[in-house]
Amino acid sequence: MLAKEAATPGKIQKSVIVVYMSGGQSHQDTFDLKMQAPKEIRGEFKPIPTNVPGTQICELLPKMAQVMDKCTVIRSVVGQRDEHTSWQNLTGYPMNQAKREGRPNFGSVVSRLKGQTNPVSPAFIDLFPTMKHRPYNSGDAGYLGPGFNQIRADGEDLWASMKLRYIDRSRFGSRQALLRQFDQLRRTVSTTATKSVNEVDENYAKAFDVLTSSQLVDALDVTKEDPAVRERYGKGSSKHLGDGAPMWNDQLLIARRLVEAGCGSSPSPTASGTPTATTSAT
């Protein structure tokens, strides 16, 4: 993650990668085994020491135990409602309320507050796969408006899906020029150039910057990564497991590459312990 800072010396930009697990491991089988509790309550696994004195975690997490000084275990998180959805985690509200009130995805909130840190990297890139169980899916910007919606990249061939196809750069540029002419005509005819018109223009400009840059596409192309690094992450598959997400580790690697490309926050969801991903910018 230091590659991004090295590219912009003297300027430190905070970055976040969120790994979201819809249906993750039980707390009492990972970080709080409750060994002093009765057998029917405590976890079935044994604790092991970590590199933080006095802190133990599950025996199945030996590598995490070695870097526990870089982790923070938050034990006070509780949901507003006992429901099996992603909405409470991604919006802070139960699903029905979030949809009814248009509560935004946290990535959209960050996008609204911080904006883009790089003109060719969207503020919020969402690698969530389309889940078969709809309540597991990722929401949008809600009442913040479509200008703060995420860029969605779904499917195994993310790199190809983000490329401009059937149109070359010069033709794309001529279409951009034509759009500017229509905008000028619209402004001439209109007696009031409203704020919403200006916002649409700004969103168009951002979209053109993203579409004509190779930086984002390159970040999504994990074949450019060192094979040894890809081996460490593991590849997995884009095939869904049941009604959850695929076990596709490439998404975690892509999230890191997106941060290096200037996207400040990369959430990465997981269902049934299987990584999927999302990204946004701070």
* Tens digits of pLDDT across the chain (282 residues): 555 555 555 566 677 777 777 667 788 889 989 888 998 888 789 999 999 999 999 999 999 999 999 999 988 877 788 888 888 888 999 999 999 999 999 889 988 888 777 666 777 888 887 777 888 888 899 999 988 888 777 655 554 555 544 445 555 455 556 556 555 545 555 545 455 555 555 555 655 555 555 677 777 788 888 999 988 988 777 777 777 777 778 888 888 888 887 765 444 443 333 344 444 333
Beta partners for 279?
125
Residue 124's alpha-carbon distances to 106, 109, 144, 259, in angstroms, are 10, 9, 13, 11
Residue 109: how many CB atoms within 10 A of its CB?
19
**pLDDT computed for residue 273 by the predictor:** 34
Which of 258-279 are b and which e, b meaning 16 or more Cβ less than 10 Å from the residue's Cβ? bbbbbbbbbbbbbbbebbbbbb
Beta partners for 197?
none
**pLDDT computed for residue 96 by the predictor:** 93
Residue 239's alpha-carbon distances to 125, 130, 244, 256, in angstroms, are 21, 11, 10, 22
Let me know: does 222 contact 261? Beta carbons within 8 Å: no
**pLDDT computed for residue 55 by the predictor:** 93
Structure tokens at 47: 């604790």
Rounded to 5°, the CA angle 274-277-282 comes to 145
**pLDDT computed for residue 50 by the predictor:** 97
